[in-house]
Amino acid sequence: MTMSVEPGIVDTNVLIYALDTAAPQHTAALALLDAAREDGATLFVTSQILCEFYAVVTNPRRVARPRDAAEALTVLSEILAFLHVLPIPAGTIDRLLDLLRRRPVTGSDVFDLQIVATMQANDVQRIYTFNTADFDVFTELSVVTPS
């Protein structure tokens, strides 16, 4: 039996845990992606999330079993068969700059703000992630941990 899911964006870590059978989050991540394959389920990613996923799964410093480029590309193709890629409208950069003014961050934390800006530009309010602390400050979002 698959779970019922509301439309939302799937964060990078969910994709990584779905691939990592040794991760404690594997079953929950896989259940969410299985639900996304069902008719009527609408889950999204961004080009940034796909690039982050590729960068992590091919990096031996980030994962116990890194994939080579061909394997990673195959997984990306499989993901794209059932997850929808959100466009990055022209106004997204203005949203990002506004978010940076309101929540100045440094380093790689800017990537989470870019995800939020893209979500806002596409009127998506839900994100599925295991890193809830990265998004909890955005009260306008529904931050959901797959279970």
* The pLDDT value given to residue 3: 65
Residue 121 phi/psi, 5-degree rounding, is -65, -25
Distance CA 125, CA 123 (A): 6
Q: Which two tokens stand for residue 55?
A: 């960068």
Per-residue confidence of the chain (147 residues) as pLDDT tens digits? Answer: 456 789 999 999 999 999 999 999 999 999 999 998 886 789 999 999 999 999 999 999 999 999 999 999 999 999 999 999 999 999 999 999 999 999 999 999 999 999 999 999 999 999 999 999 999 889 999 999 998
Distance CA 79, CA 94 (A): 29
Distance CA 44, CA 80 (A): 10
* The pLDDT value given to residue 4: 72
* The pLDDT value given to residue 1: 46
pTM of the predicted model, to two decimals?
A: 0.94
* The pLDDT value given to residue 41: 83
